[in-house]
Amino acid sequence: MRKKFIVPLVASLLVLAACGPTTPTSSNTSGEPPVGTTSEEPIETGTSEEPPAPTPTLDLSAPAESLYITKTLQLSAQTTDFEGEVTFESSSNEIATVDANGLVTAVAPGEVTITAKAGDLTDSVILTVKDILLDVSRAGESWSVLDVYQDDPTVTSEGHGTNYLPFKIEAGKTYMASATVTFLSADPDGTNTWSGVSIMNVNAEGIQHGTLLSPGPTLATAPKLVTYTVDAAGNVKWGIETDRSQIWNHHGLSSLDFSAPHVLTTIRDGNEYYYYIDGELYWYENIWTNFNEEDTRPALYFATASAKYEALSVTTEEAAIEAYIAEHPNNKLYPTDEKYVSVEEGGKKVVFTGADEGAPLNVKDTAAKTIGDAFVLPAEKASRVTFDLVIDRYGATDAMPAVMMTINRHDENFPESRSYLISEFKVGFTGWDYNGDLPGGVGAASADYNALEQGKTYKVTCDRLMHEDGQDTRILLQDEGGETIMDFTHNWHDGYRGAANVFFAVRNMNATLSNITLTTID
């Protein structure tokens, strides 16, 4: 029984081994596992992780890098993925403030940082607060100042009343201010002969002093300059010597085109004051003493004139001021009528013409006048003016043709001139009110001599003498060889020892004055 069971089983195993391995019937040759088989890569099972959360951002921006005092600037704060409140903060509320909406208000000149915060986020902008050039706090209705808040500011005077607008600098005794001024109209009512514009000097009380450029009631009548003082209430006080402060044809003033722009420049250098028009010196003061111990500021000014002021500038840099003065020298004298008077050699030579040919007999109109205090005899000191004189021709339309040197007393209570006169037969002195005209003749204080010849050179010495009881005057007339023709002293002793301004003039005479010198004697 056991042998029948074992034999068939062994035979079956031998048959299977002879057949070999089974060959697959699939045609897949890609190397990928057949369908239904498992690859060697494991298959992950379970739930994937969440993506990372977005990062919040804050961006603060400004439409400009600067703004002017009192003006505002709206900042923009942009956030992403942040839903909380954005707050703002200024690094200095004294320079600029910022409100809850990011609106910046400029307070004072300087640099300020504005910071925005959103949760833990911060961003900042740096702003520069600029100052304006003019103090507009007192502009009122007299000035249009909307365009002063810009890098090239302009302002306009409205033409009613008398008013000033100070530059925003610390008050002091040294500065230079300039503006290009265009008249829009003279006096709106067409009646004020002293309408005009200026850059004045203003003290803390509001008292103003300076030289006014006036076109007259209209832009085509009576152009002139006048130097005067204005009190804090706006009342005008004429210059200490009215005639000395009125200029009618300085540097061809009457030919200025008042419809065109003109550059006004004012300099205060201690107790010296300079006033320029288009770079030419029109007035100079050094004996006006009211502000000597006071600090002032320069100020745009108008008197019943409407004008535009632009190209504004101001500096206290002494080197720049000294350079400007050096580039625009002071020639001391100017001709009141260039047709009949010429000033040469920096004021050392004056030639008068026009005798019997239309030159005015009024010596103030045919003269070589000082530019303000450029030719001044000092207070308390004896002084001497010398010149060589050639009489080119005597005129026939005046009974006493003469050449003269005149000194104007610098005293608001006494508008007095004193003239040293030299005529054909007489030398002498005449006192007169310089608000009026020189009277005819030579005057009671005179002396006769033989006739001076035309074409010859004479030497003239005009002394201003000082005594305890006032000034006196002396003329020494010599021929070319130094021989004395006349030595005549007035014995005036008038009680005045202050400064005096000089001008030269003729009355119906052609003459040449050369080698003009001024010497302080003691």
Strand runs (DSSP E) across 244-296, as ranges?
246-247, 262-269, 272-277, 280-285
Per-residue pLDDT of the chain (522 residues; tens, 9 = 90+): 333 333 333 343 333 344 444 444 444 444 444 444 444 555 555 556 788 889 999 999 999 999 999 999 999 999 999 999 999 999 999 999 999 999 999 999 999 999 999 999 999 999 999 999 999 988 988 999 999 999 999 999 988 877 999 999 999 999 999 999 999 999 888 888 889 999 999 999 999 999 999 998 988 878 889 999 999 998 888 776 667 777 777 788 888 899 999 999 999 999 999 999 999 999 999 998 899 999 999 999 999 999 999 999 999 999 999 999 999 877 789 998 889 999 999 899 999 999 999 998 888 888 999 988 999 999 999 999 999 999 999 999 888 999 999 999 988 788 899 999 999 999 999 999 988 889 888 988 999 999 999 999 999 999 999 999 999 999 999 999 999 999 999 998 889 999 999 999 999 999 999 999 999 987
Tell whether the torsion through CA atoms of 145, 175, 112 and 311 is positive or negative.
positive
User: What pLDDT is stored for residue 238 in this prediction?
Assistant: 77
| Residue 479: burial class (beta carbons within 10 Å; 0-12, 13-18, 19+) | middle
Strand runs (DSSP E) across 140-193, as ranges?
143-144, 155-158, 162-166, 174-185
Beta-carbon neighbour count of residue 15 at 10 Å? 8
Token reading at 510:
């052609």
Rounded CA gap, 314 and 167, in Å? Answer: 7
Phi, psi at residue 177, to the nearest 5°? Answer: -130, 145
CATH topology of domain 57-130: Immunoglobulin-like (2.60.40)
Rounded CA gap, 179 and 241, in Å? Answer: 28
DSSP labels for 289-331? Answer: -TTTT--BEEEEEEES-EEEEEEEEEE--HHHHHHHHHHS---
Rounded CA gap, 437 and 366, in Å? Answer: 12
**Cβ atoms 299, 208 nearer than 8 A:** yes
CA separation, residue 280 to residues 152, 222, 265, 267 (Å): 24, 20, 9, 13
Of 404, 457, 395, 456, the closest CA to residue 432 belongs to: 404
Do 57-130 and 136-327 share a fold? no
Q: Which CATH architecture has domain 333-520?
A: Sandwich (2.60)
Rounded CA gap, 10 and 3, in Å? Answer: 11
Strand-pairing partners, residue 117, are 87, 122
* Amino acid letter for position 365: D
CATH topology of domain 136-327: Jelly Rolls (2.60.120)
User: What pLDDT is stored for residue 40 in this prediction?
Assistant: 52
CA separation, residue 288 to residues 241, 355, 411 (Å): 11, 36, 10
User: What pLDDT is stored for residue 45 in this prediction?
Assistant: 53
User: What pLDDT is stored for residue 7 in this prediction?
Assistant: 38
Of 487, 459, 485, 483, the closest CA to residue 473 belongs to: 487
3-state secondary structure of 451: coil
Beta-carbon neighbour count of residue 317 at 10 Å? 11
DSSP labels for 61-120? Answer: E-S-SEEETT-EEE-EEEEES--S-EEEEES-TTTEEE-TT-EEEE-SSEEEEEEEEETT
Of 236, 185, 500, the closest CA to residue 370 belongs to: 500
| Residue 115: burial class (beta carbons within 10 Å; 0-12, 13-18, 19+) | middle
Does pTM top 0.85 for this prediction?
A: no
Beta-carbon neighbour count of residue 27 at 10 Å? 5
Phi, psi at residue 72, to the nearest 5°? Answer: -120, 160
CA separation, residue 81 to residues 60, 62, 170, 329 (Å): 15, 22, 51, 70
Rounded CA gap, 310 and 292, in Å? Answer: 30
**Cβ atoms 242, 229 nearer than 8 A:** no
* Amino acid letter for position 317: E
**Cβ atoms 251, 244 nearer than 8 A:** no
User: What pLDDT is stored for residue 44 in this prediction?
Assistant: 53
Alpha helices in 330-477 (DSSP H): none
3-state secondary structure of 280: strand
Q: Where are the domains of the chain?
A: 57-130, 136-327, 333-520
Longest CA pairwise span in the chain (Å): 196
**CB < 8 Å & 24+ apart, contacts of 268-274:** 268/173, 268/174, 268/175, 268/201, 268/296, 268/298, 269/173, 269/174, 269/321, 269/325, 270/173, 270/174, 271/173, 273/201, 273/210, 274/325
Rounded CA gap, 461 and 487, in Å? Answer: 9
